[in-house]
Structures are given as C-alpha cells and as structure tokens.
C-alpha cells in the first residue's frame, strides 16, 4: 500500500463573514491510498483558527501517516488523537480503498435511490441588505430551515432581520437557527437571548466562547432559547472528559463536525454520550470540499436523524470538485447520473 497527500486551497465565491472574521479561502488536505490498481481518498479538513490540530507541524504529521500507513486504520486513529481532521481523513481513505467505487463509502437509499437529507440554508454575516438577500434566495430555493450567523455586525440590525422573517413566516413555516460562534459575553448573553426568544428560534449555537463551562451551564439552565454546543466540543479527546462536559453543562443540543472531533468514531462517541443524557444532536460539515462533504453526508443518512442537518456548504467555492451532491428544495440529494471530477485525484501518487 502506498500513501501520499496534497494540499488544496478552496476559494469562496463570495467572502464568508463569521464572528471570527471574513473567509476568502479555505485550506484542506487530500490523503490518497493506492494498492494494486485501486485507490482510496479522504479529506483532512483542517480549519485554521478553529481546529484543535491547527499546529505548525500539521504537515509533518501527514508525512508520518504516509510513512506508517501499514499500521492500518484503527491503530492510526488511536495514534492521531491530537489530530482529529487527520483521523477523519484516514477513516475516509481506508473505507474508500475498500469500496469498488472510491466515492461510495456508505451505500444506502441516499446514494442508490436519491432519498434526500433535509438541511438548513446557511446565511452568512454581512450588512442588512446582503443578509436579507441571502434569506430570500434560500427561501426561493425551497429551504424551510435557515441558519443565520450573528454576532459580528450590529445586534439591533440582526434582531430587525429576525423580526422581518417572523412577520412573514411562522415557526411552523420556517425553522430559524442562529449561530453566535461565541460572540456574546457572559454578562450580556442572557439579555440578548431573551430578546432573541421573541422570534421563536429553534436554537442558538455557542452563544459564549468555549472554555467557560460554569457560565455555559448557567445559561443552558435558564436560557429561553435552546442552546447547542459547537466549538465547546473541540479539543476534547477523552471519553470521560466528554461525558463530564455534557453532564456539567447539560445543553439542549450538540453539533457534530466530524473534521473537528475525530471523524466517524469521535462523532459516534459524542452521540452515544449525548443520547444517554437526553441531549439532541445533528451533524454539520466544516467547509470541506465535496470529497469530505460526501463522506459526511453518506454517513449522516445512515444515522436516521430527523432534524435538518448542516450539510449544504459545497456550493460556496469556485474550485470545488464536481460531484453527484446537489441541493434541491432544501435537501441534499445524491444524483447518480452526475459524475465525480477526478482530474486532480488522478495526479496524486503518480
């Protein structure tokens, strides 16, 4: 078996605003395995400024993986605990290599019968006009669940946008999630959550920064808006620590980004622990290319979670890989009649 990797930089069609700044590019890494005439591919979706494995020796770790690929998937996963995005890339690559079709990791009605996965439409931060335009576009595309990034612009304007939505659509017609990315201070959080509760929100992601479990516990206990932990899960690798975090904070939901929390195995561990404590969850991509998104989506379908998932980011980039993944009427659909673009993949490990 031979292994290699390649860096790939995704370019956004439009600048994507978050409370951590505006994104124009997204770095990712492709891991390729070859054995005989077959190949397997996985994406190591490093997220600069957010991933626990955003370290200067990240590429050195990829070189180590390629040099020790004969250890196999399970041993590599255990050795890579501090590198969750590489754990996920390794999982994908081995599953891909074992499949007759390197892009078919979890055959199901999603891949074979075009059964859809409901997803939320993502609204990036911007001025009021830009955000309203995005909302109108998502509604026109058939989304009945939207997720709005808040916290980087004027909060009063963000509230005004939510007020406009609710004047036009009830919570039964449009589900609204918001994501603060930790933008609120503990001091102001409850006041802002109280204001937001007027708009029948499904949930708010990470209202305050991670790393303050006592304050987050207090908020989860009294917030009029259900709270979902997101960044709070990053960097926690031990199962006992995961269980303790959930037991301490008692959130209403957790949000699982496989690239940030150890791939399938790491995400499944969080799910098991959350369900023991009656905590809801859903799966979200983390700005991967269509290779990583495909790997997440196929697995997500097998989990049979009925909530809208956060899997619609593949269309954000100008240079993504063409794939069967298509967004239709607020759903992610796998179109079997559409082919994968394999030009760059064919140049790996040659």
Q: Is residue 343 part of a domain?
A: no
86 and 184, same domain (yes or no): no
Could you give the strand order of the β-sheet that contains 325-328, starting from the edge strand earlier in sequence? 117-118, 331-334, 325-328
Bridge partner residues of 32 (DSSP): 4, 41
What tokens were used for 238?
A: 């031990």
How many domains are there within the chain?
2
Helix (H, G, I), strand (E, B) or coil at 117: strand
Phi, psi of 81 (to 5 degrees): -55, -40
226 and 249, same domain (yes or no): yes
80 and 215, same domain (yes or no): no
Domain at 188, CATH number: 3.20.20.120
Residue span of the structural domain in which 92 resides: 2-103
Q: Please confirm, yes or no, whether 149 is among the known catalytic residues.
A: yes
91 and 123, same domain (yes or no): no
Q: What is the pLDDT of residues 112-146, one digit of tens each?
A: 999 999 999 888 777 778 878 888 888 888 899 99
Q: What is the pLDDT of residues 210-246, one digit of tens each?
A: 999 999 999 999 999 999 999 999 999 999 999 999 9
67 and 203, same domain (yes or no): no
| Average pLDDT of the residues of the chain | 92
Give residue 2's region: left, alpha or beta (phi > 0; psi -120 to 50): beta
Looking at the predicted structure, is the pLDDT value of residue 19 above 70? no
Residues contacting residue 11 through CB under 8 Å, at least 6 positions apart: 24, 25, 317, 318, 319
Q: What is the pLDDT of residues 69-93, one digit of tens each?
A: 999 999 999 999 999 999 999 999 9
280 and 136, same domain (yes or no): yes
Domain at 51, CATH number: 3.30.390.10
Active-site position among 149, 192, 209, 242: 149
CB 178 within 8 A of CB 150: yes
Q: Is residue 251 part of a domain?
A: yes
């Amino acid at each position: 078996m031979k292994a290699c990797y390649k860096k790939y930089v995704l370019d956004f069609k439009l600048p994507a605003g978050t409370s951590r700044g505006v994104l124009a590019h997204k770095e990712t890494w492709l891991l390729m395995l070859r054995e005989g005439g077959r190949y397997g591919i996985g994406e190591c979706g490093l997220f600069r400024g957010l991933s626990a494995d955003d370290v200067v020796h990240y590429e050195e770790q990829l070189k180590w993986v390629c040099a020790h690929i004969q250890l196999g998937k399970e041993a590599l996963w255990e050795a890579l605990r501090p590198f969750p995005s590489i754990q996920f890339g390794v999982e994908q690559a081995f599953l891909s290599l074992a499949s007759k079709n390197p892009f078919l990791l979890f055959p199901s009605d999603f891949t074979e019968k075009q059964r859809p996965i409901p997803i939320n439409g993502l609204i990036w931060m911007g001025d009021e006009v830009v955000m309203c335009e995005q909302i109108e576009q998502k509604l026109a595309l058939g989304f009945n669940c939207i997720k709005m990034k808040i916290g980087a612009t004027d909060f009063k304007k963000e509230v005004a946008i939510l007020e406009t939505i609710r004047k036009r659509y009830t919570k039964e017609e449009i589900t609204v999630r918001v994501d603060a990315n930790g933008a609120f201070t503990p001091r102001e959080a409850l006041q802002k959550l109280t204001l937001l509760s007027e708009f029948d929100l499904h949930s708010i992601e990470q209202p305050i920064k991670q790393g303050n479990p006592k304050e987050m516990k207090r908020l989860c206990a009294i917030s009029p808006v259900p709270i979902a932990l997101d960044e709070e899960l990053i960097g926690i690798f031990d199962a006992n620590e995961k269980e303790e975090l959930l037991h301490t904070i008692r959130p209403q939901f957790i949000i699982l980004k496989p690239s940030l929390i150890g791939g399938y195995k790491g995400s499944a561990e969080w799910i098991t622990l959350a369900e023991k404590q009656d905590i809801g969850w859903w799966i979200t991509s983390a700005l991967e290319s269509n290779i990583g998104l495909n790997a997440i989506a196929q697995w997500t379908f097998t989990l049979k979670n009925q909530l809208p998932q956060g899997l619609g980011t593949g269309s954000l980039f100008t240079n993504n890989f063409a794939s069967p993944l298509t967004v239709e009427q607020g759903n992610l659909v796998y179109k079997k009649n559409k082919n994968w673009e394999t030009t760059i993949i064919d140049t790996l490990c040659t």
